Protein backbone atom coordinates (compact mmCIF):
# COMPACT_ATOMS: atom_id res chain seq x y z
CA UNK A 1 0.00 0.00 0.00
CA UNK A 2 2.81 2.41 0.93
CA UNK A 3 4.49 1.71 -2.41
CA UNK A 4 1.23 2.36 -4.28
CA UNK A 5 0.74 5.66 -2.42
CA UNK A 6 4.28 6.73 -3.31
CA UNK A 7 3.67 6.01 -7.00
CA UNK A 8 0.43 8.01 -6.85
CA UNK A 9 2.23 10.95 -5.21
CA UNK A 10 4.92 10.93 -7.88
CA UNK A 11 2.28 10.86 -10.63
CA UNK A 12 0.45 13.81 -9.07
CA UNK A 13 3.69 15.79 -8.81
CA UNK A 14 4.56 15.01 -12.44
CA UNK A 15 1.08 16.06 -13.61
CA UNK A 16 1.28 19.27 -11.53
CA UNK A 17 4.71 20.08 -12.99
CA UNK A 18 3.37 19.59 -16.55
CA UNK A 19 0.34 21.82 -15.92
CA UNK A 20 2.46 24.58 -14.34
CA UNK A 21 4.82 24.53 -17.35
CA UNK A 22 1.80 24.92 -19.66
CA UNK A 23 0.65 27.92 -17.64
CA UNK A 24 4.14 29.48 -17.74
CA UNK A 25 4.13 29.17 -21.55
CA UNK A 26 1.24 31.67 -21.60
CA UNK A 27 3.26 34.31 -19.63
CA UNK A 28 5.57 36.89 -21.19
CA UNK A 29 8.57 39.06 -20.26
CA UNK A 30 9.26 39.95 -16.63
CA UNK A 31 5.95 38.38 -15.54
CA UNK A 32 7.24 35.01 -16.68
CA UNK A 33 10.35 35.22 -14.47
CA UNK A 34 8.31 36.29 -11.42
CA UNK A 35 5.76 33.51 -12.00
CA UNK A 36 8.57 30.98 -12.41
CA UNK A 37 9.90 31.85 -8.93
CA UNK A 38 6.36 31.75 -7.51
CA UNK A 39 5.76 28.30 -9.00
CA UNK A 40 9.02 26.95 -7.52
CA UNK A 41 7.68 27.87 -4.08
CA UNK A 42 4.29 26.40 -4.91
CA UNK A 43 5.83 23.09 -6.03
CA UNK A 44 7.69 22.78 -2.71
CA UNK A 45 4.44 23.44 -0.84
CA UNK A 46 2.51 20.97 -3.00
CA UNK A 47 5.19 18.32 -2.47
CA UNK A 48 4.92 18.73 1.32
CA UNK A 49 1.12 18.71 1.10
CA UNK A 50 1.23 15.29 -0.58
CA UNK A 51 3.57 13.94 2.14
CA UNK A 52 1.41 15.00 5.11
CA UNK A 53 -0.62 12.25 6.76
CA UNK A 54 -3.16 13.15 9.44
CA UNK A 55 -2.80 15.90 12.06
CA UNK A 56 0.61 17.60 12.13
CA UNK A 57 0.91 17.27 15.92
CA UNK A 58 0.70 14.38 18.37
CA UNK A 59 -1.35 15.68 21.30
CA UNK A 60 0.59 13.67 23.89
CA UNK A 61 3.84 15.44 22.88
CA UNK A 62 2.45 18.93 23.56
CA UNK A 63 3.84 20.65 26.65
CA UNK A 64 3.54 24.08 28.18
CA UNK A 65 6.46 26.30 27.19
CA UNK A 66 9.25 26.62 29.81
CA UNK A 67 8.80 29.59 32.17
CA UNK A 68 11.66 31.64 30.73
CA UNK A 69 10.60 31.16 27.09
CA UNK A 70 7.67 33.59 27.48
CA UNK A 71 8.70 36.73 29.33
CA UNK A 72 6.22 39.15 30.92
CA UNK A 73 6.31 42.57 29.22
CA UNK A 74 6.76 44.28 32.60
CA UNK A 75 10.08 42.46 33.06
CA UNK A 76 11.28 43.71 29.66
CA UNK A 77 10.26 47.31 30.49
CA UNK A 78 11.96 47.13 33.93
CA UNK A 79 15.34 46.81 32.21
CA UNK A 80 14.99 50.38 30.97
CA UNK A 81 16.23 51.90 27.73
CA UNK A 82 19.81 52.66 26.68
CA UNK A 83 21.03 56.19 25.90
CA UNK A 84 21.45 55.10 22.27
CA UNK A 85 17.83 54.38 21.28
CA UNK A 86 18.66 55.74 17.81
CA UNK A 87 21.35 53.09 17.32
CA UNK A 88 18.79 50.30 17.84
CA UNK A 89 16.15 52.00 15.67
CA UNK A 90 18.59 52.34 12.79
CA UNK A 91 18.83 48.54 12.70
CA UNK A 92 15.05 48.17 12.35
CA UNK A 93 12.65 47.85 9.41
CA UNK A 94 8.87 47.99 9.90
CA UNK A 95 7.00 45.50 7.69
CA UNK A 96 3.21 45.64 7.33
CA UNK A 97 1.20 42.78 5.86
CA UNK A 98 -0.86 44.60 3.23
CA UNK A 99 -2.29 41.82 1.08
CA UNK A 100 -5.93 41.98 2.18
CA UNK A 101 -8.94 43.63 0.58
CA UNK A 102 -11.67 45.53 2.42
CA UNK A 103 -14.44 43.28 1.06
CA UNK A 104 -15.47 41.95 4.51
CA UNK A 105 -16.35 45.55 5.44
CA UNK A 106 -18.10 46.26 2.15
CA UNK A 107 -15.22 48.27 0.65
CA UNK A 108 -13.44 47.91 -2.67
CA UNK A 109 -9.64 47.92 -2.92
CA UNK A 110 -6.97 47.39 -0.24
CA UNK A 111 -8.18 47.30 3.35
CA UNK A 112 -5.28 49.58 4.33
CA UNK A 113 -6.96 52.46 2.45
CA UNK A 114 -10.14 52.45 4.60
CA UNK A 115 -10.52 55.57 6.80
CA UNK A 116 -10.40 54.59 10.46
CA UNK A 117 -9.90 57.79 12.43
CA UNK A 118 -10.22 61.51 11.57
CA UNK A 119 -10.15 60.67 7.84
CA UNK A 120 -6.83 58.81 8.34
CA UNK A 121 -6.48 55.37 6.75
CA UNK A 122 -4.57 52.42 8.24
CA UNK A 123 -1.69 53.33 5.92
CA UNK A 124 -1.77 57.03 6.92
CA UNK A 125 -1.53 56.09 10.61
CA UNK A 126 1.38 53.71 9.93
CA UNK A 127 3.32 56.38 8.03
CA UNK A 128 2.64 58.95 10.78
CA UNK A 129 3.92 56.56 13.48
CA UNK A 130 7.21 55.85 11.70
CA UNK A 131 7.73 59.47 10.66
CA UNK A 132 7.28 60.49 14.31
CA UNK A 133 9.99 57.98 15.34
CA UNK A 134 12.38 59.20 12.65
CA UNK A 135 11.89 62.85 13.58
CA UNK A 136 12.05 62.28 17.35
CA UNK A 137 15.25 60.20 17.32
CA UNK A 138 16.76 61.45 14.04
CA UNK A 139 16.72 57.94 12.59
CA UNK A 140 16.01 56.18 9.31
CA UNK A 141 13.42 53.47 9.98
CA UNK A 142 11.94 52.42 6.61
CA UNK A 143 8.46 51.02 5.99
CA UNK A 144 8.04 47.91 3.86
CA UNK A 145 4.62 46.84 2.59
CA UNK A 146 4.04 43.24 1.59
CA UNK A 147 1.32 43.63 -1.05
CA UNK A 148 -0.57 40.95 -2.94
CA UNK A 149 -1.63 41.00 -6.58
CA UNK A 150 -5.00 42.18 -5.21
CA UNK A 151 -3.59 45.31 -3.52
CA UNK A 152 -0.33 46.21 -5.28
CA UNK A 153 -1.58 48.54 -8.01
CA UNK A 154 -3.93 50.59 -5.81
CA UNK A 155 -1.35 50.82 -3.01
CA UNK A 156 1.41 52.06 -5.31
CA UNK A 157 -0.86 54.81 -6.66
CA UNK A 158 -1.54 56.11 -3.15
CA UNK A 159 2.13 55.98 -2.04
CA UNK A 160 2.85 59.11 -4.09
CA UNK A 161 1.15 61.21 -1.40
CA UNK A 162 3.87 60.29 1.11
CA UNK A 163 6.77 61.52 -1.06
CA UNK A 164 7.58 64.40 1.30
CA UNK A 165 7.19 62.42 4.53
CA UNK A 166 10.30 61.41 6.45
CA UNK A 167 9.82 57.70 5.75
CA UNK A 168 11.36 55.61 3.00
CA UNK A 169 8.68 53.23 1.69
CA UNK A 170 9.45 49.99 -0.14
CA UNK A 171 7.04 47.37 -1.46
CA UNK A 172 7.28 43.78 -2.59
CA UNK A 173 4.65 41.33 -3.69
CA UNK A 174 3.43 38.12 -2.15
CA UNK A 175 3.55 35.12 -4.46
CA UNK A 176 0.65 34.29 -6.75
CA UNK A 177 -0.30 30.62 -6.45
CA UNK A 178 -2.88 28.60 -8.43
CA UNK A 179 -6.00 27.30 -6.70
CA UNK A 180 -6.27 23.56 -7.26
CA UNK A 181 -9.25 21.40 -8.09
CA UNK A 182 -10.24 19.43 -4.98
CA UNK A 183 -10.79 16.24 -7.00
CA UNK A 184 -7.98 16.23 -9.59
CA UNK A 185 -5.46 18.20 -7.44
CA UNK A 186 -4.47 20.15 -10.59
CA UNK A 187 -4.63 23.92 -11.22
CA UNK A 188 -8.00 25.37 -12.21
CA UNK A 189 -6.32 28.13 -14.26
CA UNK A 190 -6.04 27.70 -18.04
CA UNK A 191 -3.52 30.53 -18.56
CA UNK A 192 -1.65 33.20 -16.55
CA UNK A 193 -4.40 35.79 -17.11
CA UNK A 194 -6.24 37.27 -14.14
CA UNK A 195 -9.48 38.42 -15.72
CA UNK A 196 -12.59 36.77 -17.15
CA UNK A 197 -12.75 33.07 -16.36
CA UNK A 198 -9.38 33.33 -14.59
CA UNK A 199 -10.53 36.06 -12.18
CA UNK A 200 -10.75 33.80 -9.12
CA UNK A 201 -8.30 30.99 -9.87
CA UNK A 202 -5.27 32.60 -8.17
CA UNK A 203 -4.63 33.40 -4.51
CA UNK A 204 -1.95 34.94 -2.25
CA UNK A 205 -0.72 32.01 -0.10
CA UNK A 206 -1.03 33.42 3.42
CA UNK A 207 1.44 35.64 5.27
CA UNK A 208 3.88 32.74 5.78
CA UNK A 209 4.93 33.50 2.21
CA UNK A 210 6.73 36.62 3.50
CA UNK A 211 10.04 34.81 3.91
CA UNK A 212 10.33 33.48 0.34
CA UNK A 213 8.83 36.51 -1.43
CA UNK A 214 10.89 39.01 0.63
CA UNK A 215 14.04 37.03 -0.20
CA UNK A 216 13.14 36.60 -3.89
CA UNK A 217 12.38 40.31 -4.30
CA UNK A 218 16.01 41.28 -3.58
CA UNK A 219 14.79 43.72 -0.91
CA UNK A 220 16.02 41.53 1.96
CA UNK A 221 19.62 41.68 0.68
CA UNK A 222 19.31 45.42 -0.03
CA UNK A 223 18.22 46.16 3.55
CA UNK A 224 20.95 43.97 5.06
CA UNK A 225 23.50 45.86 2.91
CA UNK A 226 22.11 49.11 4.40
CA UNK A 227 22.90 47.85 7.91
CA UNK A 228 19.40 46.73 8.88
CA UNK A 229 19.25 43.71 11.21
CA UNK A 230 15.63 43.16 12.30
CA UNK A 231 12.10 43.49 11.00
CA UNK A 232 9.00 44.20 13.04
CA UNK A 233 6.14 42.47 11.20
CA UNK A 234 2.44 42.97 11.90
CA UNK A 235 -0.97 43.10 10.23
CA UNK A 236 -1.69 46.59 8.88
CA UNK A 237 -5.18 46.46 10.45
CA UNK A 238 -3.78 45.95 13.98
CA UNK A 239 -3.76 49.52 15.29
CA UNK A 240 -1.99 48.40 18.49
CA UNK A 241 1.09 47.17 16.60
CA UNK A 242 3.43 50.14 16.98
CA UNK A 243 7.22 50.03 17.35
CA UNK A 244 7.97 49.26 21.00
CA UNK A 245 11.40 50.53 22.06
CA UNK A 246 11.63 48.18 25.06
CA UNK A 247 11.06 45.05 22.94
CA UNK A 248 13.50 46.34 20.32
CA UNK A 249 16.17 46.97 22.99
CA UNK A 250 15.63 43.48 24.41
CA UNK A 251 15.98 41.97 20.94
CA UNK A 252 19.13 43.87 20.02
CA UNK A 253 20.92 43.33 23.34
CA UNK A 254 19.87 39.88 24.55
CA UNK A 255 22.72 37.43 24.10
CA UNK A 256 21.99 34.08 25.82
CA UNK A 257 24.80 31.53 25.31
CA UNK A 258 26.59 34.11 23.18
CA UNK A 259 23.75 34.01 20.63
CA UNK A 260 21.25 36.72 19.78
CA UNK A 261 17.53 36.08 19.87
CA UNK A 262 16.35 35.61 16.25
CA UNK A 263 12.57 35.67 16.72
CA UNK A 264 10.18 37.27 19.21
CA UNK A 265 6.45 36.62 19.10
CA UNK A 266 4.20 39.00 21.00
CA UNK A 267 1.46 37.05 22.77
CA UNK A 268 -1.28 38.31 25.06
CA UNK A 269 -3.72 36.80 27.56
CA UNK A 270 -6.58 34.93 25.96
CA UNK A 271 -10.20 35.91 26.60
CA UNK A 272 -13.30 34.01 25.51
CA UNK A 273 -13.30 36.12 22.33
CA UNK A 274 -9.87 34.75 21.34
CA UNK A 275 -10.40 31.01 21.75
CA UNK A 276 -9.51 30.27 18.11
CA UNK A 277 -6.21 32.18 18.17
CA UNK A 278 -2.93 30.27 17.78
CA UNK A 279 -0.96 29.60 20.97
CA UNK A 280 2.68 28.83 21.88
CA UNK A 281 3.61 25.33 23.00
CA UNK A 282 6.77 23.32 23.63
CA UNK A 283 7.05 20.48 21.11
CA UNK A 284 10.07 18.25 20.46
CA UNK A 285 12.20 20.63 22.53
CA UNK A 286 11.28 23.70 20.46
CA UNK A 287 8.91 26.62 20.90
CA UNK A 288 6.13 26.15 18.38
CA UNK A 289 2.92 27.88 17.25
CA UNK A 290 -0.16 25.67 17.49
CA UNK A 291 -3.10 26.76 15.31
CA UNK A 292 -6.65 25.45 15.68
CA UNK A 293 -6.46 23.89 12.18
CA UNK A 294 -3.70 21.54 13.44
CA UNK A 295 -5.63 20.32 16.48
CA UNK A 296 -7.20 16.83 16.30
CA UNK A 297 -11.01 17.10 16.54
CA UNK A 298 -11.11 15.26 19.86
CA UNK A 299 -8.99 18.01 21.46
CA UNK A 300 -10.52 21.19 19.99
CA UNK A 301 -12.43 22.04 23.19
CA UNK A 302 -9.24 21.57 25.19
CA UNK A 303 -7.41 23.90 22.78
CA UNK A 304 -10.10 26.57 23.24
CA UNK A 305 -9.78 26.34 27.03
CA UNK A 306 -8.69 29.63 28.60
CA UNK A 307 -7.24 27.76 31.58
CA UNK A 308 -4.91 25.36 29.73
CA UNK A 309 -3.81 27.59 26.85
CA UNK A 310 -3.74 31.03 28.43
CA UNK A 311 -2.14 33.12 25.68
CA UNK A 312 -2.53 33.64 21.94
CA UNK A 313 -0.39 35.00 19.10
CA UNK A 314 -1.01 38.67 18.21
CA UNK A 315 0.97 38.26 14.95
CA UNK A 316 3.30 41.08 16.06
CA UNK A 317 6.69 39.52 15.30
CA UNK A 318 10.31 40.69 15.58
CA UNK A 319 12.62 38.68 13.32
CA UNK A 320 16.32 38.69 12.41
CA UNK A 321 16.95 39.53 8.73
CA UNK A 322 20.20 37.55 8.71
CA UNK A 323 18.38 34.49 10.05
CA UNK A 324 15.68 34.75 7.34
CA UNK A 325 18.43 34.89 4.69
CA UNK A 326 20.23 31.86 6.20
CA UNK A 327 17.07 29.74 6.49
CA UNK A 328 15.92 30.61 2.96
CA UNK A 329 19.29 29.72 1.48
CA UNK A 330 19.37 26.45 3.43
CA UNK A 331 15.76 25.70 2.44
CA UNK A 332 15.19 25.17 6.17
CA UNK A 333 12.12 27.32 6.82
CA UNK A 334 9.63 24.86 8.32
CA UNK A 335 5.96 25.91 8.43
CA UNK A 336 2.87 23.73 8.71
CA UNK A 337 0.57 23.77 5.69
CA UNK A 338 -2.91 25.20 6.11
CA UNK A 339 -5.35 23.60 3.65
CA UNK A 340 -8.07 26.17 2.97
CA UNK A 341 -11.12 24.82 1.08
CA UNK A 342 -13.08 27.28 -1.09
CA UNK A 343 -16.02 27.16 -3.47
CA UNK A 344 -15.69 29.32 -6.60
CA UNK A 345 -18.62 31.35 -7.94
CA UNK A 346 -19.42 28.64 -10.48
CA UNK A 347 -19.72 26.07 -7.68
CA UNK A 348 -16.37 24.37 -8.26
CA UNK A 349 -14.66 23.08 -5.09
CA UNK A 350 -11.01 24.05 -4.82
CA UNK A 351 -8.30 24.11 -2.17
CA UNK A 352 -5.57 26.61 -1.57
CA UNK A 353 -2.37 25.78 0.31
CA UNK A 354 -1.23 28.46 2.75
CA UNK A 355 1.27 29.04 5.55
CA UNK A 356 1.32 31.42 8.55
CA UNK A 357 4.28 33.72 9.29
CA UNK A 358 4.36 32.82 13.01
CA UNK A 359 4.57 29.08 12.30
CA UNK A 360 8.25 29.51 11.35
CA UNK A 361 9.17 30.26 14.98
CA UNK A 362 10.53 26.74 15.45
CA UNK A 363 13.10 27.27 12.68
CA UNK A 364 14.81 30.19 14.45
CA UNK A 365 17.43 30.09 17.22
CA UNK A 366 16.68 31.39 20.72
CA UNK A 367 13.08 32.20 19.79
CA UNK A 368 10.90 33.51 22.60
CA UNK A 369 7.51 35.02 23.39
CA UNK A 370 6.74 38.24 25.24
CA UNK A 371 3.38 38.49 27.01
CA UNK A 372 2.35 42.03 26.09
CA UNK A 373 -0.59 44.17 27.28
CA UNK A 374 -3.85 43.74 25.37
CA UNK A 375 -3.43 47.30 24.04
CA UNK A 376 -0.88 45.97 21.53
CA UNK A 377 -3.64 43.90 19.91
CA UNK A 378 -6.26 46.22 18.47
CA UNK A 379 -7.34 44.65 15.16
CA UNK A 380 -10.07 46.18 13.01
CA UNK A 381 -11.69 43.18 11.33
CA UNK A 382 -15.33 44.30 11.42
CA UNK A 383 -17.41 47.46 11.50
CA UNK A 384 -17.96 46.78 15.24
CA UNK A 385 -14.17 47.11 15.71
CA UNK A 386 -14.24 50.29 13.62
CA UNK A 387 -16.83 51.88 15.95
CA UNK A 388 -14.53 51.15 18.89
CA UNK A 389 -11.43 52.84 17.41
CA UNK A 390 -13.42 55.83 16.09
CA UNK A 391 -14.91 56.54 19.53
CA UNK A 392 -13.74 58.70 22.43
CA UNK A 393 -12.39 55.55 24.10
CA UNK A 394 -9.16 56.31 22.23
CA UNK A 395 -7.08 59.41 21.63
CA UNK A 396 -4.84 59.76 18.58
CA UNK A 397 -1.34 61.15 18.71
CA UNK A 398 1.36 60.84 16.04
CA UNK A 399 -0.54 57.99 14.36
CA UNK A 400 -0.88 55.95 17.58
CA UNK A 401 -4.12 55.21 19.42
CA UNK A 402 -4.08 55.10 23.22
CA UNK A 403 -6.91 54.32 25.61
CA UNK A 404 -8.42 57.50 27.06
CA UNK A 405 -7.39 58.20 30.65
CA UNK A 406 -11.03 59.10 31.34
CA UNK A 407 -11.95 55.41 30.98
CA UNK A 408 -11.99 54.00 34.52
CA UNK A 409 -11.00 50.44 33.55
CA UNK A 410 -8.59 49.35 30.79
CA UNK A 411 -10.77 46.70 29.09
CA UNK A 412 -12.59 47.56 25.87
CA UNK A 413 -16.39 47.21 25.65
CA UNK A 414 -17.89 44.28 23.79
CA UNK A 415 -19.65 45.61 20.67
CA UNK A 416 -21.89 43.59 18.39
CA UNK A 417 -23.50 45.46 15.49
CA UNK A 418 -26.05 43.56 13.39
CA UNK A 419 -26.01 42.92 9.64
CA UNK A 420 -27.55 46.36 8.92
CA UNK A 421 -24.15 47.81 9.86
CA UNK A 422 -21.94 45.32 8.00
CA UNK A 423 -20.72 47.70 5.33
CA UNK A 424 -18.78 50.87 6.14
CA UNK A 425 -21.16 52.99 4.04
CA UNK A 426 -24.25 51.63 5.87
CA UNK A 427 -22.54 52.13 9.22
CA UNK A 428 -21.66 55.77 8.41
CA UNK A 429 -25.27 56.48 7.38
CA UNK A 430 -26.58 55.12 10.71
CA UNK A 431 -24.39 57.25 13.00
CA UNK A 432 -24.70 61.04 12.73
CA UNK A 433 -21.77 61.11 15.12
CA UNK A 434 -19.97 58.41 17.12
CA UNK A 435 -21.61 57.97 20.56
CA UNK A 436 -19.81 58.70 23.83
CA UNK A 437 -18.67 55.22 24.98
CA UNK A 438 -16.34 56.02 27.89
CA UNK A 439 -18.59 54.17 30.36
CA UNK A 440 -19.87 51.46 28.03
CA UNK A 441 -19.44 47.75 28.89
CA UNK A 442 -21.54 46.04 26.24
CA UNK A 443 -23.47 47.16 23.15
CA UNK A 444 -25.68 44.99 20.95
CA UNK A 445 -27.58 46.57 18.05
CA UNK A 446 -29.80 44.63 15.68
CA UNK A 447 -32.13 45.69 12.87
CA UNK A 448 -32.93 49.12 11.43
CA UNK A 449 -31.47 51.49 14.04
CA UNK A 450 -30.04 55.01 13.61
CA UNK A 451 -28.19 57.23 16.09
CA UNK A 452 -28.45 61.04 16.31
CA UNK A 453 -25.62 63.34 17.39
CA UNK A 454 -24.04 63.26 20.85
CA UNK A 455 -25.69 60.05 22.04
CA UNK A 456 -24.16 58.63 25.23
CA UNK A 457 -24.00 54.87 25.95
CA UNK A 458 -23.24 53.52 29.44
CA UNK A 459 -23.15 50.07 31.06
CA UNK A 460 -24.99 47.43 29.01
CA UNK A 461 -27.13 48.68 26.13
CA UNK A 462 -29.17 46.38 23.85
CA UNK A 463 -31.20 47.87 20.98
CA UNK A 464 -33.27 45.51 18.82
CA UNK A 465 -35.58 46.73 16.04
CA UNK A 466 -38.05 44.04 14.97
CA UNK A 467 -38.30 43.07 11.31
CA UNK A 468 -39.92 45.88 9.30
CA UNK A 469 -39.61 48.33 12.20
CA UNK A 470 -37.15 51.14 12.83
CA UNK A 471 -35.68 52.76 15.93
CA UNK A 472 -34.22 56.28 15.82
CA UNK A 473 -32.13 57.32 18.83
CA UNK A 474 -32.50 61.12 19.04
CA UNK A 475 -29.59 63.52 19.48
CA UNK A 476 -28.40 63.94 23.06
CA UNK A 477 -29.99 60.70 24.36
CA UNK A 478 -28.29 58.99 27.32
CA UNK A 479 -28.81 55.22 27.44
CA UNK A 480 -27.59 53.50 30.60
CA UNK A 481 -28.21 49.79 31.22
CA UNK A 482 -31.17 49.83 28.81
CA UNK A 483 -32.86 47.25 26.63
CA UNK A 484 -34.76 48.90 23.76
CA UNK A 485 -36.87 46.83 21.40
CA UNK A 486 -40.08 46.83 19.38
CA UNK A 487 -41.31 49.25 16.77
CA UNK A 488 -40.37 52.55 18.41
CA UNK A 489 -40.13 55.23 15.79
CA UNK A 490 -38.57 57.61 18.29
CA UNK A 491 -37.12 56.65 21.66
CA UNK A 492 -37.93 59.13 24.42
CA UNK A 493 -35.09 60.45 26.58
* Residue list, annotated binding site for substrate: 207
β strands within 165-310, DSSP E: 169-173, 177-178, 180-181, 202-203, 230-235, 263-269, 279-283, 286-290
Q: How far apart are CA 25 and CA 21, in angstroms?
A: 6
Which residues are 95's β-sheet partners?
A: 144, 233
Most distant CA pair in the chain: distance in Å? 77
Burial 283-292 (b: 16+ CB within 10 A, else e): beeebbbbbe
Residues 92, 94, 97, CA angle at the centre, nearest 5°?
Answer: 150
Enumerate the active-site residues. Answer: 381
How does 313-338 read in b/e, with b if 16+ C-beta sit within 10 Å? bbbbbbbbbebbbbbbeeeebebbbb
| Residue 254: C-alpha distances to residues 23, 249, 251, 382 (Å) | 48, 8, 6, 38
Count of C-beta atoms within a 10 Å radius of residue 63: 11
Rounded Cα–Cα distance for residues 115 and 233 (Å): 22
Cβ atoms of 404 and 438 within 8 Å: the answer is yes
Tell me how far apart the alpha carbons of residues 373 and 339 are, in angstroms, rounded to a whole number.
32
For residues 114-138, one letter each, b for 16 or more C-beta atoms within 10 angstroms of the residue's C-beta and e for the rest, the string is bebbeeebbbbbbbbbbbbbbeebe
Q: What burial class does residue 417 get, using C-beta atoms within 10 Å of its C-beta: 0-12 exposed, 13-18 middle, 19+ buried?
A: buried
How far apart (Å, rounded) are the C-alpha atoms in residues 99 and 112?
9
User: Residues of 152-170 as b/e, b for ≥16 C-beta within 10 angstroms?
Assistant: beebeeeeeebeebbbebb
Q: Which residues contact 233 (CB under 8 A, 6 or more apart)?
A: 95, 96, 97, 210, 315, 316, 317, 318, 319, 357
Residues annotated within the binding site are: 111, 174, 206-207, 237, 381
Q: What are phi and psi of 429, to 5 degrees?
A: -70, -25
* Alpha-carbon gap, residue 80 to 163, rounded angstroms: 35
Which secondary structure element, helix H or strand E, spans residue 425, and what is its range? helix 424-430
Rounded distance, CA 168 to CA 93, Å?
A: 10
Amino acid sequence: MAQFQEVMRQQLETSMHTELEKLLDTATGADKEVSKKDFEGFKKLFHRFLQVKGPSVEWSKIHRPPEDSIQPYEKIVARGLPDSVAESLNKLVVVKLNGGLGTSMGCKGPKSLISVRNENTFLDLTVQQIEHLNKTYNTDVPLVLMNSFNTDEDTKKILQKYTHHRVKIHTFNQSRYPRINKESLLPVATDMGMTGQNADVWYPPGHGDIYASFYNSGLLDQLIAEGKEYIFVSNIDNLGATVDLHILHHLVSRVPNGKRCEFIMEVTDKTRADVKGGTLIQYDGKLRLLEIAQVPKAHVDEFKSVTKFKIFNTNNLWISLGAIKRLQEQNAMDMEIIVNPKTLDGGQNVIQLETAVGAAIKSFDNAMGINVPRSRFLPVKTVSDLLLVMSNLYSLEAGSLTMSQKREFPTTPHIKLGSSFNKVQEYQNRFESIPDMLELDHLTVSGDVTFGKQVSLKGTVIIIANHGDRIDIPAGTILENKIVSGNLRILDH
